[in-house]
Structure 1
């Protein structure tokens, strides 16, 4: 599951980097379907970071990676 999560994050990464941010995979808790990520760069303190996380990253991961139920920022 971790490799598939990384592939999906690689699709999102260029969009974040265009605005000076990035996303880093911290952990995948397979039994719970939880992916933990760290938003970095401009995304770290951006007021839109939660929207990016929930409506962008989480939605894509839930759609494309079987077993993923939620994404949390750490």
Structure 2
């Protein structure tokens, strides 16, 4: 799956976000799921898509807020929010 960004000029931001997602990905994959970077808005909002076991999992909201969003905001200050998309 090839991640897509809203604007080719935020390639460095895209690379930073992908690096953090790639750190998180093995833990998510160990539970049968995966994460896809869908978009990065100019205001720093990151859109991700869950795959596999993450779809419909009651813990996916906690994973998003306490795992993915927290890690992204700590390591990539430009990120303001992380939202899931279907």
Place the TM-score, normalised by the shorter chain, in its bin: over 0.9
Q: Point out the structure with the larger strand share.
A: 1
Distance 2:77 2:69 in 1: 12
Match of 2:60 in 1: 49
Q: Does 1:21 align with 2:6?
A: no
Match of 1:8 in 2: 20
- Deviation of 1:66 (Å): 2.1
Alignment size in residue pairs? 73
TM-score, normalising length: structure 1: 0.95
**Structure of greater Rg:** 2
For structure 2, the 5+ residue unaligned runs are 1-12
Distance 1:59 1:51 in 2: 11
| Residues 23-48 of structure 1 deviation map (CA, whole Å, 9 limit, x = unaligned) | 0000011x211000001100111001
TM-score, normalising length: structure 2: 0.83
- Kindly report the root-mean-square deviation, in angstroms, between the aligned alpha carbons of the 2 structures: 0.6
Distance 1:66 1:2 in 2: 13
